[in-house]
């Protein structure tokens, strides 16, 4: 079976074409283009314009790379939510047009569950605690009785949003994560900053405000080190508690912030200490791309999930734990 998946929930427009053999994911094409800015920040309507502009060239290049025609595709899927509404719309419209024109089944799938399933498929992890950290999302998730349950999550902004907002306050462009990560490893002095864990949930806004108030008063490098140290330690603490509570033996890190070497090192150390396996999928499967909806669309379609056109409206607030997992 071949599935074409369209991702457009935030700054990336991507189209991937995947097939399966023996339950394994074969990537035939994975084309994408992301919005970046010199001043930082994203404007929703500009994302929609970007996604509309790139829809045709990305589609053509994905089909060419995969060596297939639209007629060969068995199912078309797209990220239905969560995300930024105008951005999601751009992908949904592209998916609907293609499905109608070529008479293909159409599936709107959950972006976060897409991260989990492609992460599992490409890392070989089976039943992990998932640490999903991106610009907008920060969730600690585990499968239990038909759903991916959210054991802990951010109460305000996403971890990636914290990094990008703080980077912008320091005059860095978007995305700021890679630059901040580099500074972290220069091992600076720790500056006390808020550390906010509430039960299994996290809050980053207070940390951001406190760090921004210190800009210009303490060395920039010390601030970066301390902000990353606290934010990542908060995520690590909650992840460890989820592992201890569920007795799962694997931890899967995914989402755009999985690119952070600092976060990976901290989680790896925690996993080593408790004899738990640590999985990080290849980078292309961590960041937003068409791989998420393509693979999830394929396995959902195989499990018999079908959607009418009227069920494919985007849902910018769709949650991970609203999705009934029928394919496990
Ligand atoms: Fe994402």
In CATH terms, the fold of domain 2-116+288-322 is: Nucleotidyltransferase; domain 5 (3.30.420)
Among 24-28, 43-47, 112-116, 155-159, which stretch is predicted with the lowest mean pLDDT?
Answer: 43-47
| Torsions phi, psi for 232 (to 5 deg) | -70, -35
| Cα(188) to centroid(ligand 1), Å | 31
Spacing, Cα 287 to ligand 1 middle (Å): 6
The pLDDT assigned to 165 comes to 94
- Look at phi and psi of residue 40 and say left if phi exceeds 0, alpha if psi is from -120 to 50, else beta: left
Between the CA of 109 and the centroid of ligand 1 the distance, in Å, is 13
Mean pLDDT of the chain: 96
CA of 46 to the centre of ligand 1 (A): 18
Q: pLDDT by residue (tens digit) across 250-274? A: 999 999 999 999 999 999 999 999 9
Q: Is 26 helix (H, G, I), strand (E, B) or coil?
A: strand
- Mean local confidence (pLDDT), 226-246: 98
What was the pLDDT predicted at 18?
Answer: 98
pLDDT for 285-295, tens place per residue? Answer: 999 999 999 99
pLDDT tens digits for range 204-232 = 999 999 999 999 999 999 999 999 999 99
The pLDDT of residue 40 is above 90 = no
Task: Determine the distance separating the centroid of ligand 1 and the alpha carbon of 191, expressed in angstroms.
Answer: 31
pLDDT at residue 21, as a whole number: 87
Q: And the tokens for 130?
A: 């998932």
Q: How far is the CA of 134 from the centre of ligand 1 (A)?
A: 6
214 C-alpha to ligand 1 centroid (Å):
30
- For helices 261-273 and 220-246, the axis angle rounded to 10 degrees is 40
Mean pLDDT in residue range 311-324: 96
The answer on pLDDT for 107 being more than 90 is: yes
CA distances from 121 to 24, 142, 237 (A): 7, 15, 26
Predicted confidence (pLDDT) at residue 282 exceeds the cutoff of 90:
yes
Distance from Cα 35 to the centre of ligand 1, integer Å: 14
User: Ligand 1 centre and the CA of 79: distance in Å?
Assistant: 10
Question: b/e string for 36-66 if b means 16 or more Cβ within 10 A?
Answer: eeeebebeeeebbebbbebbeebbebbbebb
Distance between Cα 189 and ligand 1 center (Å):
32
pLDDT at 23: 83
Q: Provide the H-helix boundaries in the chain.
A: 44-66, 85-102, 111-123, 159-169, 177-184, 205-213, 220-246, 261-273, 283-286, 291-302
CA–centroid distance, 48 to ligand 1, in Å, is 16
CA of 216 to the centre of ligand 1 (A): 33
Tell whether the model's pLDDT for residue 188 goes beyond 90: no
Both tokens assigned to 42? 């994203």
8 A C-beta contact, residue 57 and residue 32:
no
**11: CA distance to ligand 1 center in Å?**
10
The alpha carbon of 249 is separated from its chain's Cα centroid by a whole number of angstroms, namely 22
Distance separating alpha carbons of residues 161 and 41, to the nearest angstrom? 9
Mean pLDDT, range 40-51, rounded to an integer: 89
Secondary structure of residue 43 in the 3-state scheme: coil
Q: What number is the average pLDDT over the span 32-51? A: 89
Q: Do the bridges between strand 250-254 and strand 277-279 make them parallel or antiparallel, or are there none, so unpaired?
A: parallel
Domain boundaries, the chain: 2-116+288-322, 126-284
pLDDT above 90 coverage of the chain, percent: 94
Residues counted in the chain? 328
Query: How close is the Cα of 138 to the center of ligand 1, in Å?
Result: 10
How far, in Å, is the centroid of ligand 1 from the Cα of 44? Answer: 16
Please report which confidence band the pLDDT of residue 156 belongs to, taking 50, 70 and 90 as the band edges.
Answer: very high
Instruction: Report how far ligand 1's centroid is from the alpha carbon of 117 (Å).
Output: 12
Distance 190 CA to ligand 1 centre (A): 30
Asked if domains 2-116+288-322 and 126-284 share a fold, the reply is yes
Give the pairing of strands 129-133 and 250-254. parallel
Measuring CA to CA, how many Å separate 300 from each of 40, 44, 288? 36, 29, 19
DSSP character at residue 328: -
CA–centroid distance, 133 to ligand 1, in Å, is 8
CATH number of 126-284: 3.30.420.40
Q: How far is the CA of 15 from the centre of ligand 1 (A)?
A: 14
Is the pLDDT at 296 greater than 90? The verdict is: yes
Residues in contact with 28: Cβ distance below 8 Å, sequence separation at least 6, in sequence order: 2, 17, 18, 19, 65, 66, 67, 68
Ligand 1 centre distance from Cα of residue 314 (Å): 15
| Centre of ligand 1 from the C-alpha of residue 232, in Å | 18
What's the 112 CA to ligand 1 centre distance in angstroms?
6
- Could you read off the pLDDT of 141-152 as tens digits, one per residue? 999 999 999 999
């Amino acid at each position: 079976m071949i599935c074409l998946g369209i991702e457009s929930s935030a700054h990336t427009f991507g189209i991937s074409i995947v097939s399966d053999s023996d339950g394994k994911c074969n990537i035939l094409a994975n084309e994408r283009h992301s919005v970046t800015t010199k001043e930082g920040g994203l404007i929703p309507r500009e994302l929609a314009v970007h996604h509309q502009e790139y829809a045709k060239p990305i589609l053509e290049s994905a089909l060419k790379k995969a060596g297939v025609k639209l007629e060969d595709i068995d199912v078309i899927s797209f990220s239905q939510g969560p995300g930024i509404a105008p951005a999601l719309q751009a992908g949904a419209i592209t998916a609907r047009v293609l499905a109608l024109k070529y008479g293909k089944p159409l599936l709107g799938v959950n972006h976060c569950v897409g991260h989990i399933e492609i992460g599992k498929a490409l890392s070989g992890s089976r039943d992990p605690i998932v640490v999903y950290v991106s610009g907008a999302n920060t969730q600690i998730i585990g499968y239990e009785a038909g759903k991916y349950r959210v054991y802990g999550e951010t109460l305000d902004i996403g971890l990636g949003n914290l990094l990008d907002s703080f980077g912008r306050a320091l005059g860095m462009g978007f995305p700021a994560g890679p630059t901040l990560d580099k500074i972290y490893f220069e091992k600076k002095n720790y500056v006390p900053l808020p550390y906010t864990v509430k039960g299994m949930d996290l809050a980053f806004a207070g940390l951001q405000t406190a760090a921004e108030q210190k800009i210009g008063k303490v060395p920039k490098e010390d601030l970066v080190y301390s902000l990353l140290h606290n934010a990542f330690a908060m995520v690590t603490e909650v992840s460890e508690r989820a592992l201890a509570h569920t007795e799962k033996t694997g931890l899967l890190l995914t989402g755009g912030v999985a690119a952070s070497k600092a976060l990976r090192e901290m989680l790896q150390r925690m996993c080593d200490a408790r004899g738990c396996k640590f999985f990080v999928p290849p980078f292309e499967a961590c960041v937003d791309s068409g791989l998420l909806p393509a693979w999830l669309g394929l396995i959902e379609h195989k499990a018999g999930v079908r959607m009418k056109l009227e069920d494919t409206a985007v849902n910018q607030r769709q949650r991970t734990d609203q999705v009934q997992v029928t394919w496990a």
